[in-house]
């Protein structure tokens, strides 16, 4: 469990799917007051959708933090954020059906997140994904989730893993070969 680090803990979580559905991974990161990552975790999901990966990242973050610690959670998934902050009360009232009368997608994860949110002080903050000079914590979580989706292995500070590799700034081009003289 994450111990109390200060009054409000700032964290980010993200999910990734290479194919949607495809090889997927999730990640979360908790930072210090200067927003330097202090602890992080990432894991594989096998074949899953991006929405499953995003919700799993949130569920794992909530499970790893003490319930009495106020959290600010930064996310780039409007679906995951709206699922647990906006749509959830209506789904519960409607017997876990959408407004169209269809079963709620990913209900098992949403129910677990709802249980973990019960009685907690959590502020959700939407941050745009993949922005130059964007949110540092979201970028860290994005890189860790992407790496977990790619290699399908768990990683994290508790496992002694190095930080996830930086996202490439530009596509790598193969060197051009020179035509041989003849």
Residue 98 within a domain:
no
Give the pLDDT confidence score for residue 173 in this predicted structure. 40
CATH number at residue 30: 3.30.420.10
Give the pLDDT confidence score for residue 1 in this predicted structure. 52
Residue 31 within a domain:
yes
Give the pLDDT confidence score for residue 182 in this predicted structure. 47
Give the pLDDT confidence score for residue 181 in this predicted structure. 52
Residue 20 within a domain:
yes
Residues in the chain, how many?
182
Residue 149 within a domain:
yes
Give the pLDDT confidence score for residue 168 in this predicted structure. 58
- Spans of the chain, pLDDT less than 50: 4-6, 170-180, 182
Residue 55 within a domain:
yes
Other C-beta atoms within 10 Å of 125: how many?
13
Residue 2 within a domain:
no
Place of tokens 């939407």: 126
**Domain range holding 33?**
9-77+120-159
Residue 168 within a domain:
no
Measured between alpha carbons, how far is residue 80 from residues 1, 14, 56, 116, 145 in Å?
23, 10, 10, 15, 15
Give the pLDDT confidence score for residue 174 in this predicted structure. 42
How many structural domains does the chain have?
1
Cα separation, 142 vs 95, in Å, equals 33
Residue 37 within a domain:
yes
Which tens digits make up the pLDDT trace of 53-81? Answer: 999 999 999 999 999 999 999 999 999 99
């Amino acid at each position: 469990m994450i111990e109390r680090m200060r009054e409000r803990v700032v964290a980010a979580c993200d999910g990734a799917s290479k194919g949607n559905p495809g090889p997927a991974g999730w990640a979360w990161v908790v930072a210090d007051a200067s927003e330097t990552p202090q602890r992080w975790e990432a894991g594989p999901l096998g074949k899953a959708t991006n929405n499953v990966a995003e919700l799993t990242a949130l569920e794992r973050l909530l499970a790893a933090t003490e319930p009495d610690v106020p959290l600010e959670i930064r996310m780039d998934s409007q679906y995951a954020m709206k699922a647990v902050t906006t749509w959830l009360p209506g789904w519960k009232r409607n017997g876990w059906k959408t407004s169209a009368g269809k079963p709620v997608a990913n209900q098992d994860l949403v129910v677990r997140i709802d249980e973990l949110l019960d009685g907690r002080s959590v502020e959700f903050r939407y941050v745009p994904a993949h922005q130059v000079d964007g949110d540092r914590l979201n970028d860290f979580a994005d890189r860790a989730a992407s790496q977990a989706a790619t290699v399908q292995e768990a990683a994290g500070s508790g496992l002694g893993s190095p930080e996830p590799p930086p996202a490439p700034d530009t596509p790598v081009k193969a060197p051009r070969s020179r035509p041989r003289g003849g």
